[in-house]
Amino acid sequence: MKKKSYEITRELRYYQEGFRSCNVYVLTCFDSEVVFDPSLGTDSIDQKYPVSKLIATHAHYDHIGRVNEWKSEYPAVPFLMHGGDIPMLGDADLNASILFGRPGTFPKPDRVLNEGDVIELDSRYYLDVLNTPGHTMGSSCFIINRREDHTDRPVAVISGDTLFDRGWGRTDFATGDDALMRGSLRRLYRVLSKLPEGMPVCPGHSSITNASDACRFLAFMGFAD
């Protein structure tokens, strides 16, 4: 059964997964779609175009819980994730699936992402990869960019469990690190402060925020230095 989607921008929408309330984002490109954090299965997402990529912000179960289903139905669709979380995929303790009562393992990514990578999605859209360790070692954020009128324009930031609306991800799970998280939040402040104030910032859980409000929160919490 298809889940209800919520529009963020003209090309970006999200679905709310019910078990652990993970946000699943879908970017509609020119003639394909990209799914971020595939914790919903193929039967839950209304595909306007064929899915061309599955991208994970990190390797916790509540964010990649249905990637096996996607890969089984669409084996040619690549799964992308930062290399820092690869050890978690084959370990139900590390990927936290055992904590949710659904112990499982997941496939290694078809493409390993690294800090600074640029992921070309099509002639119009691309992603900038920011490795933001803290919640997990491989946690990453993605800046979605659109080429328009010979100008590159940022569309949104997918922030995963690194940055929420007025909060950030816990660091007491396996591979979490509080000092690294604080460094990542300082970095995100610097990045977001240079982006349009109203640009959506899309976390792994809870409500959507924007660059201005996120910067205001991060500054209040002492991450603006």
Rounded to an integer, the average pLDDT of 45-62 is 97
Band of residue 225 on the pLDDT scale cut at 50, 70, 90: confident
Q: What does DSSP assign to residue 179?
A: H
Q: What pLDDT is attached to residue 26?
A: 98
Four-point Cα dihedral 73, 75, 77, 83, nearest 10: 120
Task: Specify the pairing of strand 51-55 against strand 33-36.
Answer: parallel
Q: What pLDDT is attached to residue 1?
A: 83
Give CA–CA dist 63/225, Å, rounded: 31
Per-residue CA distances from 98 to 3, 91, 92, 169, 170 (Å):
26, 9, 5, 19, 17
Angle at 85 between CA 83 and CA 87, to 5 degrees: 100
Give CA–CA dist 110/23, Å, rounded: 23
Q: What pLDDT is attached to residue 93?
A: 96
Is residue 163 scored above 90 in pLDDT? yes
Per-residue CA distances from 62 to 1, 55, 56, 72 (Å):
19, 14, 11, 19
Q: Which structural domains are found in the chain, ordered by start?
A: 5-220 (3.60.15.10)
**Is the separation of the CB atoms in 143 and 119 below 8 Å?**
no
Q: What pLDDT is attached to residue 9?
A: 98
Question: To the nearest whole number, what is the mean pLDDT of the chain?
Answer: 97
Band of residue 15 on the pLDDT scale cut at 50, 70, 90: very high
Q: Is the pTM of this model over 0.95?
A: yes
Rounded to an integer, the average pLDDT of 184-198 is 98
